Amino acid sequence: MDLGLAGRTAIVCASSRGLGKACAHALAQAGVRVVINGRSEATLKTTAEEIAGDTGAEIIPVTADVSTPQGQKALLSAAPEPDILVNNNGGPPRKDYSELDREAMIDGVVMNMVTPIELIQAVIGPMVERRFGRIVNITSASVKRPLTGLDLSSGARAGLTAFLSGVARQVAAQNVTINNILPGAFDTDRLRSGLRGAADSQGIPIDEIAALRMAEIPSGRFGDPDEFGKACAFLCSAHAGYITGQNLLIDGGAFHGSF
């Protein structure tokens, strides 16, 4: 399917690896000029070369921490008026809610709520004027099914979801959409790191931990980042203008609910 995006420009945050990288790759396949972002210059350079070599698209790497004003300025300097914004950022580390101090809570809210809102504020005006804009926020399945120890991440992402629900309705008539993708367990470095930590703490092989985790998922497997990226690219496409203010849960059926 032609997504109708050839010649468009996108900013994809935290895209040197994992789900952000998959989104950047899928958009590049659709003919989009993509600004990618990460904190490791070496990793980002490798990712840029890989995506450009595979797709032939123009890939612009920006090494920066997107949570900082300086990092946001660097991204927006590379693409002042993007047609597409994919918000993504790491979350705060797992920690019991009772151990969170004020500074940690503020940092978590800045990372997973304030930062994407600030970037949206910066790019949405020109999108409205051009009558085309696609904003996708990568949040988490924990917005619907909170996980113990990730209360701060779940709360900040849920706050972002509620905040943008009203904003999405304000700009829908100008063909600007805002949607969220809620990933479950995808086969990324972050997932593997968590499995390794669990295996070490329990003293059992990582393959056994992975099998136990997959057994809880009706699909019987972890998600492939490539399928996540393609779902993101469709929400950014010319065909998705009637989809806005929605939460697309991609978790292999792990969340048991009808809505």
Per-residue confidence of the chain (259 residues) as pLDDT tens digits? 999 999 999 999 999 999 999 999 999 999 999 999 999 999 999 999 999 999 999 999 999 999 999 999 999 999 999 999 999 998 888 899 999 999 999 999 999 999 999 999 999 999 999 999 999 999 999 999 988 889 999 999 999 999 999 999 999 999 999 999 999 999 999 898 889 988 888 998 999 999 999 999 999 999 999 999 999 999 999 999 999 999 999 999 999 988 8
CATH number for the domain running over 9-186+224-249 = 3.40.50.720
Residue of 18, 52, 54, 59 whose CA lies nearest to 35 = 59
Residues 6+ apart with CB under 8 A from 256: none
Q: What is the pTM of this model?
A: 0.96
CB atoms within 10 A of CB 80: 11
How many Å apart are CA 184 and CA 160, to the nearest integer? 18
- Please name every residue paired with 84 in a beta bridge, in sequence order, or none if there are none: 10, 134
Helix (DSSP H) and strand (DSSP E) numbers for the chain: 9, 7
User: Which residue ranges make up each domain of the chain?
Assistant: 9-186+224-249, 187-222
